[in-house]
Copies of this chain bind each other. A is one copy, B any other.
Amino acid sequence: MFESAELGHRIPDEEYEAAEPGLRAALLDAQYDLLELRQFAVIVLINGMDGAGKGATVNLLNEWMDPRHIEACAFDSPTAAESEYPAMWRFWRSLPPRGKIGVLFNNWYGQVIVDRVERRSRRADLEQRLDEIRRFESMLVREGVLLIKFWFHVSRAVQKQHFKALEKDPRTRWRVTRRDWRAHDLYGRYRDVAGQVLRSSSTGEAPWLIVDGSDANFRALFVGRTLLSAITKRLEAVRRKWAPRQTAAPLAPAVDTVNLIGSLQRQEMGHKEYDEQLERHQGRLALLTRDDAFRKRSLVLVFEGMDAAGKGGAIRRISAALDIRQYRIVQVAAPTEEERAQPYLWRFWRHVPRRGKIAVFDRSWYGRVLVERVEGYCSEADWMRAYSEINDFEDELAAAGAVVVKFLLAISKDEQLARFKQREAEPHKRFKITEEDWRNRERWDDYVQAICDMVDRTSTERAPWVLVEADDKQYARIKILRTICERLEAALDHGRKVEGKA
Q: Check if B86 sits within 8 Å of A341, measured CB to CB.
A: no
CB of B338 within 8 A of CB of A97, answer yes
For this chain, the copies found in one complex come to 2
Closest to A349 in B: B92
Q: Bound state CA distance, A350 and B85, in angstroms?
A: 11
Distance (Å) between the CB of A45 and the closest chain B CB? Answer: 16
A41: chain B residues at CB < 8 Å are 341-342
**A229 shortest CB reach to chain B, Å:** 23
| Partner-binding segment picked from A53-61, A134-142, A181-189, A475-483 | A134-142
Closest to A88 in B: B396
> Are A132 and B85 also in contact (CB < 8 A) when A93-B349, A343-B95, A343-B143 are?
no
Residues of chain A in range 71-128 having any CB-CB distance to chain B below 8 Å = 81, 84-89, 92-93, 95, 97-99, 124, 127-128
Between A245, A342, A356, A402, the greatest number of chain B beta carbons within 10 A of the residue's beta carbon is seen for A342
Contact of A470 with B by CB under 8 A:
no
| Interface assignment of A418: CB less than 8 Å from any CB of chain B | no
Q: Given the known A-B contacts A131-B131, A132-B392, A245-B245, are A341 and B98 also in contact in the complex, defined by CB atoms under 8 Å? A: yes
- Are A400 and B352 touching (Cβ within 8 A)? no
Asked if A352 and B86 sit within 8 Å, CB to CB, the answer is: yes
A46 within 8 A of B: no
Asked if A342 and B400 make an inter-chain contact with CB atoms under 8 angstroms apart, the answer reads no
A:332-349 near B, CB below 8 Å: 338, 341-346, 349
A38 contacts B by Cβ under 8 Å: yes
Q: Determine if A389 is an interface residue (Cβ-Cβ < 8 Å).
A: yes
A127-B128, A343-B140 given as contacts; is B392 within 8 A of A354 (CB)? Answer: no
Q: Is A145 an interface residue (CB 8 A)?
A: yes
- Minimum CB distance partner of A136 in chain B: B392
List residues of chain B with CB within 8 A of the CB of A21.
none
CB within 8 Å of B: which A434-483 residues = none
Tell me the complex Cα distance, A389–B131, Å: 13
Q: Does A89 contact B349, Cβ atoms closer than 8 Å? A: yes
Residues of B with C-beta under 8 A to A389: 135, 139
Quick check: A392 and B97 within 8 Å, CB to CB?
no
User: Chain B residue with minimal CB distance to A135?
Assistant: B392
Q: Which of A38, A95, A98, A343 has the most CB of B within 10 A?
A: A343
- A86 in contact with B400 (CB, 8 Å): yes
A95 to B342: give the CA distance in the assembly, Å: 8
Residue-by-residue, is A29-47 near B (CB-CB < 8 Å gives 1, otherwise 0)? 0000000001001000000
Contact A127 B131 (CB under 8 A): yes
Shortest beta-carbon distance from A169 to chain B in Å:
44
**Which residues of B lie under 8 Å from residue A98 when comparing CB positions?**
341-342
20 additional A-B residue pairs with CB within 8 Å, beyond A97-B342, A244-B245: A41-B342, A81-B354, A84-B356, A85-B400, A86-B397, A87-B396, A92-B350, A93-B350, A95-B343, A97-B338, A124-B124, A124-B128, A131-B131, A135-B389, A136-B392, A139-B385, A140-B343, A145-B343, A243-B245, A245-B245
Nearest 9 CB-CB pairings of A with B:
A243-B243, A97-B341, A86-B400, A84-B354, A143-B343, A92-B349, A98-B341, A84-B355, A124-B124
